[in-house]
Amino acid sequence: MPKHNWSYDAAVIAKYFDSKAKALGAAWRDYCFENQSAISPENLRSNAEKFAAQNKASLPFVVDPDGKFAAEVKADFALGQRVGIEHTPTIYVVSNKTYGKPFVEVVDRSKLYSIIDEMKSQAGPAQTSAQKSAKTAKTSRVAKKQLR
């Protein structure tokens, strides 16, 4: 995206940090999200160095000499295209329904809670573990009677 013209390079750096520790890669991603309005192509490297120093990690001069991390980023991007991701963030509300829509993409974040409420109302009241066990036992008894 034009306004995130540094995101590809940041993703390569994230893969580098992932290779050191998954938590470190996740923390770098969080750092980028928290500071995205201040990050630019010109200061991405200095931000990565600052992050590395704060986390007692090293950042080599060449982060991806053999292109392995770039290939992983490109594979992630291709997967996103295959599954139809057209924008970020992509938010889905997912239900456990066996009929109707199993998920809804939230395009307008101001409608998130209304979509959740609608999906909850369609699902009906939540069952406790005891209710689920009783229903399973009743279904089992009915099935046994039908077999006789």
Could you read off the pLDDT of 57-90 as tens digits, one per residue?
A: 999 999 999 999 999 999 998 998 888 877 777 7
CA distance 134 to 140: 10
Q: Which residues 6+ apart lie within 8 Å of 116 measured at CB?
A: 93
Task: Report residue 69 as tokens.
Answer: 């991390």
What's the pLDDT score for residue 134? 64
Contact 117, 111 (CB under 8 A): no
| Mean pLDDT, residues 109-131 taken together | 78
